[in-house]
Amino acid sequence: MCRVAGACTTLLMMLLLGCYGGNQQGQFHSFSIPANFPPPLYRFKNNTITQAGFVLGRKLFYEPRLSRNSTISCGSCHIQSAGFTQHGHDVSHGIDDRLGTRNSPPIMNLAWSATFMWDGGITDLDLQPLAPISNHAEMDNNMENVIRKLKSHPQYPGLFKGAFGTEDITSARVLKALSQFMLMCISSHSKYDSVMRREGGVTFSVEEREGYFIYQQKCAACHAEPLFTDHSFRNNGLSITAVNDVGRYAVTLKPSDRYSFSVPSLRNLAYTAPYMHDGRYLTVAAVLNHYTDLMELTPGLDSLFIREGRPGLTMTQEDKIKLMAFLKTLNDIQFVRDPLLSPQ
Ligand code: HEC
Ligand code: HEC
C-alpha cells in the first residue's frame, strides 16, 4: 500500500511507462531497434527519420488526395485497428469499390524486410507506394496528379519545408516521407516480446509454453522468430482457385516458385483476419485445419509438408489449442492503439 499520495502517483507512472517500454504513447521518439530484434535492413542513411518527416509521412498515409478522386488513402486498406490490414475484406477494396485479387498485408516491422508484396515483386520500400497509387483497382492515380494536388493544399508546402528544407514537393520526397511513417510501424510489445526480453517478470503460462514448443517444431522453419517470418517464399499447399495466382513465379519465372508466396508474420493475428494471400480463411482455427487436413499436393508444395508422399502436418486437437494459446501471445495491443500511428 502507498501511504503517501505522491508515491502512489510515481508508482503508477512507472508502471505505465514500463508497459510502454519507456516510450510514451502518442509521442514521437527516434527509430530504435527492439532488444530482441536483429539489425534492420532498410538503408536509413538515404532517408533518416525525423519528427517532421514522420509527421508528413503520417499525413500522406492517411491522405485520400493520393487517389484519383480523393476517396481512398493508404489507411483505407491498411487500418491500424486491424494491424494495418483491411479487416473484413478477403481481397482489397479500392477506388470506386473495385476489387483487387490479394489480401492487404500489415504495415509492420517493414525495416526488417528486403522484399515487399505477397510475391516479393518490389525490393525497395521507397518505391512501393508507386504501385498502389497507380494501380487501377487501388488508387488509380499518377504522381504528377498527386503532386499537383499537394502543391495546391494550404499545409503541404510548409510540411515539406519542415521535413526536407524547402517547399519543393517531388515524388522522391513523397515516397521518403511515406517510408518514414511506415518504418515507425514497429510491433514489438506483445507478451512474447516481454517474455523474451525478460521484462517485469512476465512468463508464459504452461499452455503457452507447450504451444511455443509445438510452434518451434511445426512452424518455426518458415515463421521464424523474432519477426515470425524468415522472409522466404513458400508454397503451403493452398488449393488453386479460379484466379490462378501463381505468386512468386510471376516475378522469377522459375517453375519451382509456382504458387509460392511470401511467408507472412504470425504477429497480431487477432487483428488481421482474414488470412492467406487471398484472405480465404476467417479464423486461426481454420488455418490450423488447413495445415492438418486441407493441404493439397500442388506443384511446388514445400517439402517440409510432405510426409510419406502425403501433404500436411500432424497435430492433435490438444496441440492446436496449445498452439493457439501461444499465438495469442504475439498480439500487440499497444501497436494497434498507439496514437502516434493513428490519423491525427
Ligand atoms: C485498395 C487497397 C490498398 C490501398 C489503397 C493501398 N494498399 Fe498497400 N497493399 C494492398 C494489397 C492488396 C497489398 C498486397 C499486394 C500484393 O501482394 O500484390 C499491399 C501491399 C503493401 C505493402 C507491402 C507490405 C509487405 O509486407 O509486403 C506496403 C508497404 C503497402 N501496401 C503500403 C501502401 C501505401 C504506402 C499505400 C498508399 C500510397 C497503400 N499501400 C495503399 C492494398 C492496398
Ligand atoms: C514451409 C513453410 C511454412 C510452414 C512450416 C508453416 N507455414 Fe504458415 N504460411 C506459410 C506461407 C508461405 C504462408 C502464406 C501462404 C499464402 O498466402 O499463399 C503462410 C500463412 C500462414 C498464416 C496466414 C497469416 C496471414 O497473415 O495471412 C498463418 C496464420 C500461418 N501460416 C500459421 C502457421 C502455423 C501456425 C504453422 C505451424 C503449424 C505454419 N504456419 C507453418 C509457410 C509456412
What local confidence, expressed as pLDDT, does residue 8 receive?
44
Q: Give the rounded percent of residues in the chain with a pLDDT score beyond 70.
A: 93
- Give me the pLDDT at residue 91, please: 87
Whether 76 has a pLDDT exceeding 90, the answer reads: yes
Does 127 or 13 have the greater pLDDT score?
127
Residue 299: predicted pLDDT: 86
User: Which ligand is in closest contact with the Cα of 120?
Assistant: 1
Provide the pLDDT confidence category of residue 24 given band limits of 50, 70 and 90: low
Question: In sequence order, which ranges of the chain are alpha helices (DSSP H)?
Answer: 5-19, 51-61, 74-77, 130-134, 143-151, 156-164, 171-183, 191-196, 206-218, 249-252, 269-272, 284-289, 317-328, 333-337
DSSP 122: B
206 backbone dihedrals φ, ψ, rounded to 5°: -60, -45
pLDDT for position 97: 87
- Of ligand 2's listed atoms, the one at least distance from the Cα of 85 is 26
Ligand 1, from 56, 91, 93, 104: best to mutate by most atoms within 8 Å of Cβ? 104
**Cell numbers placing 297:** 499436393
Residues with CB under 6 A from ligand 2: 218-219, 221-223, 234, 236, 238, 261, 263-264, 266, 269, 272, 275-277, 284, 287, 291, 302, 304, 313, 323
Name the residue among 271, 276, 265, 263 with its Cα closest to residue 332. Answer: 271
pLDDT over 90 percentage in the chain: 86
Residue to mutate, 187, 214, 236, 281, ligand 2, most ligand atoms under 8 Å from C-beta: 236
Measured from CB, residues less than 6 Å from any atom of ligand 1 are 66, 72, 74, 76-78, 92, 94, 100, 102, 104-105, 107, 110, 113, 116-118, 128-129, 132-133, 138-139, 178, 182
* Closest listed residue to residue 77, CA positions, set 58, 275, 90: 90
Distance in angstroms (rounded) separating the CA atoms of residues 342 and 337: 8
CA 232 to ligand 2: nearest atom: 12
**Does 223 count as an annotated binding residue?**
yes
- Kindly give, in sequence order, each residue whose CB lies less than 8 Å from that of residue 285, ignoring residues fewer than 6 positions away: 320, 324
Residue 108: predicted pLDDT: 98
Mean pLDDT value across residues 285-307: 95
Task: Please provide the distance, in angstroms rounded to a whole number, between the alpha carbons at the two ends of the chain.
Answer: 39
What Å distances lie between residue 249 and 66, 121, 125, 287, CA to CA?
30, 10, 21, 23
Query: Cell 501433404 identifies what position?
Result: 311
Give mean pLDDT, residues 280-303: 96
Residue ranges matching CATH 1.10.760.10 in the chain = 44-187, 191-334
Ligand 1 atom at shortest distance from the alpha carbon of 120: 27
23 pLDDT tier (thresholds 50, 70, 90): low
Q: Does the pLDDT value for residue 279 go beyond 70?
A: yes
Q: Per the annotation, does 19 bind a ligand?
A: no
CATH number of 191-334: 1.10.760.10
Residue 263 is predicted with a pLDDT of 98
Provide the b/e sequence for 163-187 (b: ≥16 CB within 10 Å).
Answer: bbeeeebebebbbbbbbbbbbbbbb
Does residue 274 have a pLDDT over 50?
yes
Answer whether residue 186 shows pLDDT above 90: yes
Question: Span 44-187: which CATH code?
Answer: 1.10.760.10
Task: Say what the pLDDT of residue 309 is.
Answer: 87
List Cα–Cα distances, 132 to 11, 28, 75, 77, 148, in angstroms.
Answer: 47, 27, 12, 10, 18
Q: Say if residue 98's pLDDT is above 80.
A: yes
Span 120-137, average pLDDT: 94
C-alpha 295 to ligand 1 mean position (Å)? 27
**Residue (of 2, 59, 38, 83) closest to 333 by Cα position:** 83
Q: Is the pLDDT at 222 greater than 80, yes or no?
A: yes
Query: Contact 120/251 with Cβ under 8 angstroms?
Result: yes
Nearest protein Cα to ligand 2, atom 26: 275
- Span 275-280, average pLDDT: 96
The atom number, within ligand 1, closest to the CA of 262 reads 27
**Mean pLDDT over the full length of the chain:** 92
